[in-house]
């Protein structure tokens, strides 16, 4: 058994199937399968269970997976030690981030971070889907959810509160009841899946209500949603950090200010794998991301917060 065979096992299990591992390693699927078979022969045990779509580790595979990760971490640390002989941080940071949070909050900081650390390669995926970190091949993922997956390490940035807002001229022309149920009859514009009903949770003190929404316009492009709201198409239902500046400037007016609203999740978290080695570049990036995110979410929560 050699170190390269163990790191190959890590790559296969991280990828979830042989085909994905082959693409990542720039090898043929047959070649990956051959090396896996050779490793299993060398140890005399089955290391993975193969299905039509995925491979999963056996108990022996899990034991070797831990050692393989340790070897990968040591190799990365050795490369870092050599790179640190020069000046500045080096390496790659792969980040998955929701579209709105990424565009409104993180974009200026990401540019500044890259300017301060030119040796770091940033790979940023703007996406609202809550998917597998392994499939997206990211080191860190910022996600909005109520309960982080128990298999991942989660750092909480803060609570996420959705707010209902509209253009002042629309509010003046469309008086609306000050109850969450009024949203079910109103033209709602929000992020989400087109054609699928969304469930809105509304809280006021100890009271909780749930309302089914059928948005008339959905998009992951928040600039487009702002334009649609400004044109008088209805009520925008977005996280507070997306609309905070427009509300503060008077470009948008708030509705249902007595209620705390939630749709896609109650907290924003940063997720990463528990046993994956973090380079100095990733650790530096994560520390700054946590500090910035927590500050900006706390600031946004002050805009129109319910009593």
Q: Picking from 71-85, 101-115, 212-226, which range would have the lowest pLDDT averaged per residue?
A: 71-85
Can you point out the beta strands (E) in 91-192?
A: 91-97, 120-126, 140-145, 153-159, 162-166, 188-190
**Assigned token pair, 43:** 């140890």
Q: What is the pLDDT of residues 268-290, one digit of tens each?
A: 999 998 777 778 889 999 999 99
Give residue 291's pLDDT: 94
Q: For residue 261, which phi and psi values (nearest 5 degrees)?
A: -110, 145
pLDDT at 303 over 50: yes
Q: Is the dihedral of CA 256, 259, 263, 267 positive or negative?
A: positive
Of 233, 236, 3, whose CA–CA distance to 100 is shortest? 236
Is the dihedral angle over the CA atoms 151, 157, 163, 169 positive or is it negative? negative
Note the pLDDT tens digit of each residue in 180-206: 999 988 999 988 654 456 888 899 988
Q: How far apart are CA 61 and CA 52, in angstroms?
A: 19
At 194 the pLDDT is 47
CA separation for the pair 60, 151 (Å, rounded): 19
**For the residues 54-74, what does the mean pLDDT come to?**
78
Average confidence (pLDDT) over 25-51: 83
Confidence of residue 108 (pLDDT cuts 50, 70, 90): very high
pLDDT of residue 1: 66
Mean of the pLDDT values across residues 64-90?
71
Q: What is the pLDDT of residue 110?
A: 96
> What is the predicted pLDDT for the residue at 109?
95
In this predicted structure, the answer to whether residue 292 has a pLDDT above a threshold of 90 is yes
Cα–Cα distance, 57 to 65 (Å, whole number):
8
pLDDT in tens, 206-257: 899 999 888 889 888 888 988 999 999 999 998 888 888 888 889 999 999 8
Residue 77 has pLDDT above 80, yes or no: no
Q: What is the mean pLDDT of the chain?
A: 84
Structure tokens at 204: 């006021």
> Per residue in 96-126, is it b (16+ CB within 10 Å) or e — as a string?
bbbbbbbbbbbeeebeebeeebeebeeebeb
| DSSP SS3 for 267 | strand
CA atoms of 140 and 152, how far apart (whole Å): 11
pTM: 0.69
**Comparing 63 with 79, which gets the higher pLDDT?**
63
pLDDT for the residue 48: 84
Q: State residue 191's pLDDT score.
A: 83
Query: pLDDT of 138-181, one tens digit each?
Result: 889 999 888 888 888 999 999 888 889 999 999 999 988 788 99
- pLDDT(307) > 70: no
């Amino acid at each position: 058994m050699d170190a390269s065979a163990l790191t190959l096992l890590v790559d296969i299990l991280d990828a979830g199937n042989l085909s994905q591992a082959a693409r990542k390693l720039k090898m043929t699927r047959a070649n990956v399968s051959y090396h896996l078979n050779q490793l299993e022969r060398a140890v005399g045990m089955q290391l993975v269970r193969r299905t039509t779509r995925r491979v999963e580790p056996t108990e022996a595979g899990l034991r070797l997976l831990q050692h393989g990760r340790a070897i990968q971490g040591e190799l990365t640390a050795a490369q870092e030690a050599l790179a640190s002989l020069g000046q500045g941080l080096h390496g790659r940071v792969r980040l998955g981030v929701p579209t709105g949070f990424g565009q409104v909050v993180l974009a200026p900081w990401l540019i500044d971070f890259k300017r301060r650390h030119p040796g770091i390669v940033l790979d940023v995926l703007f996406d609202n889907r809550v998917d597998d970190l392994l499939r997206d091949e990211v080191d860190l993922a910022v996600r909005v959810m109520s309960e982080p997956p128990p298999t991942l390490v989660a750092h909480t940035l803060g609570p996420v509160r959705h707010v209902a807002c509209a253009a002042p001229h629309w509010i003046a022309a469309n008086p609306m009841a000050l109850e969450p149920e009024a949203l079910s009859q109103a033209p709602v514009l929000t992020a989400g899946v087109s054609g699928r009903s969304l469930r809105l949770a509304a809280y006021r003190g100890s009271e909780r209500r749930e309302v089914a929404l059928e948005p008339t316009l959905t998009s992951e492009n928040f600039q487009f949603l702002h334009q649609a709201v400004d044109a008088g198409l209805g009520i925008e239902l977005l996280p507070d950090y997306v609309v905070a500046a427009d509300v503060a400037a008077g470009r948008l007016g708030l509705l249902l200010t007595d209620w705390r609203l939630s749709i896609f999740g109650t907290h924003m978290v940063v997720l990463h794998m528990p046993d994956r080695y973090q380079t100095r570049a990733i650790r530096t990036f994560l520390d700054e991301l946590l500090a910035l995110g927590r500050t900006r979410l706390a600031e946004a929560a002050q805009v129109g917060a319910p009593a």
